[in-house]
Structures are given as structure tokens and as C-alpha cells.
Amino acid sequence: MFGRVEIPMSEKPIITVPTVAIKERGQLTSVYVLDEKGNPQMRLVKTGKTYGERVEILSGLDIGEKVLLSEPKLAQK
């Protein structure tokens, strides 16, 4: 006889962002977030699985951070 049992050890929330928010330059993957003053800031992230139009973020973001969907435009001098 053979049987397989799956026992969930714990549940943890996952962070996902829309795929359009992901920016790739060479081997670096990043997103833009708003800091506490509302200024855009680039953040390097490590991505995981893709769920349709969303991508799992394994590291680099915290729950509740605001992610920009497009790259911010630089101010002209």
C-alpha cells in the first residue's frame, strides 16, 4: 500500500504586484515604491511565481508599501 499526506505547516501571506510594475535592467529586477514622504524610490526585488497578471515578490518589499505601475518621470531643470 502507498499513501501520500500533505500537512500544511503554516500559512503566510504573499506579496504580489502587477507585472507592469516590474522593471528589468540586465540581471536586476526592480519596482518603484513611494517612500513615507511620497517620493518615488527604486527598490531591487526578487520575484517568484507568476499568477496571471501578478508576480510574487519574495524579497525587497514589505506588505502595505505603495508600488508605482510605471517609472516616474524625472523633473526637468
Tens of pLDDT along 30-43? 999 998 898 999 99
Note whether residue 2 is domain-resident.
no
Domain count, the chain: 1
- pLDDT averaged over every residue in the chain: 89
Give tens-digit pLDDT for 40-63: 999 999 999 999 999 999 999 998
Domain range spanning residue 37? 15-68
Note whether residue 42 is domain-resident.
yes
Distance, in Å, from the CA atom of 71 to the CA atom of 61, rounded to the nearest integer, reads 17
Under the banding of pLDDT at 50, 70 and 90, the label for residue 74 is low
Can you list the alpha helix ranges (DSSP code H) found in the chain? none
500533505: which residue's cell? Answer: 6
Query: Which residues sit opposite 47 in a β-bridge?
Result: 57
Taken in order 36, 40, 42, 45, the sign of the CA dihedral is: positive
Note whether residue 53 is domain-resident.
yes
State the CATH number of the domain containing residue 44: 2.40.420.20
The closest of 52, 55, 70 to 15, measured between CA atoms, is 55
- pTM beyond 0.95: the answer is no
